[in-house]
Structure 1
Amino acid sequence: MSKWVWLIIGVAIALGIVGLSIVILNPVYYYSGSLTHGYLGMMNWVYGGSGLINNQGYYGYSYGIYSIKQALNMVSAIPPYAHVYPSNNTIVFSGSSINLVVVAMMGDDAAKMFNTTPPSYAHGDVFIIYGLINPTIVVPSGSVMHILFINLDDDMYHNFVVTVAPPPYPYNVMPYVAMSGGMGPQMMLNMRWLPPANYHSGYAYGYEYTIAINEPGIYWYICTYPGHASNGMYGELVVR
């Protein structure tokens, strides 16, 4: 065979080895575009368009603008499959299809608005999920979670990322999360920080994405803006 044929074969083999290394070494996998079916590793992510996860159809990653009133109504409307326990700041979900509405805001504002207390480790901005601040979320393994995240903070950027990297978090959390195998390049590209809400005009920025967690264990949801996770903007996600 010619040297060009051998060159093509060599490149194909090298790419195959790189791909196999990623599958073996990285326990969390991310997908762009449409996903037709299946499960790899611990999490499946879908961005853009629509697709199927575990034979169920969901929309992928998308941005949107929401009215602040609409966002507050949605994050306060507890779905029938969510069991909220304020005494231990926990929400237990049942079923395999879960809608999770999350908003971000300053901890003092959240405490006053939702008449609840932030966890002792939270010293700044926080997440609010169905009336609780940074709650522990418990879901069955194999659940498909459709997440809607809206930034209701009036002066700070935020995002909402699920990761396997545990606290404590450094000030610049993204390299730490990336090295843990808990964030892929597509995740970092899409989960950008949302700008502050415009309370004068009554609207806020948000995004939606779908995640399937098939492996039982402890995960975490965090904001990756520098200093936010290290200041307590995170919560526990238990998959059982």
Structure 2
Amino acid sequence: MPPVSQAPNPTPLYPWGVPPSPPEKSRVGLMAGIIGGVFLLIVALLATLVLVGKKIDSSYPPAESTLTAPGTLLDGHYKLAKDDSPTLGPSLEKSWRLSWDAKAVHGVVVAYHPSGGDRGELIVTGMYGRFRNTGEVRSRVLAGNGSRHTEVKVIVAPMDVTPSGSRIRVSCEEVTRSWADGKALSYPVCAWADGNTWARVAYMTVYTARSLDLESAARITLQIRSEMVKPIK
């Protein structure tokens, strides 16, 4: 009986033994990767914010003019009586600080008295800086005229009364103001707004209250603007 042949020994799969398990990934490397990714994300966000900021800034006109308080107005017919800009200007600036239509603003609040026999005062409240959407700015200026002062009531709603040929739009309204002693005065209030300035002019004198219509007040407002707005040197 022939001997039973034996199968040859199978070749081992790993002739030098079973290889060790791969080492676990280093936690230090993993954390470094996460931190690096977060850093790149922050850099990208900052770059985007810078670009957006530049785009927004470019939408405002350059600062070329300022609003001054000359000693006289309207060819000397009104003399500067009080400049409240240092005390009332900051609160005016604060109220516009969050506006998307205003940037780098400075408040101006001045009162002029007539140099003739008229009684009362002409009050100019305004700002200089950088403004866009000037139509909306002009509307806001007049809309806030009666809302902040309960003794002031609007009797003729604001309307565009820009004189023919003027590139600066002017809106005017008529208001009435009452005092504790029972006295009252109705008078016109006009406002302009351009890329660098806006102002609200209240004609609170007895003569203007009796004789000045809104169209005439708009023309005088443009003259006041020409005397108060000066180029930045």
| The two structures share one fold, judged by TM-score above 0.5 | no
TM-score, structure 2 normalization:
0.28
More relative contact order, 1 or 2 (CA 8 Å, 6+ apart): 1
Structure with greater Cα Rg: 2
TM-score, structure 1 normalization:
0.27
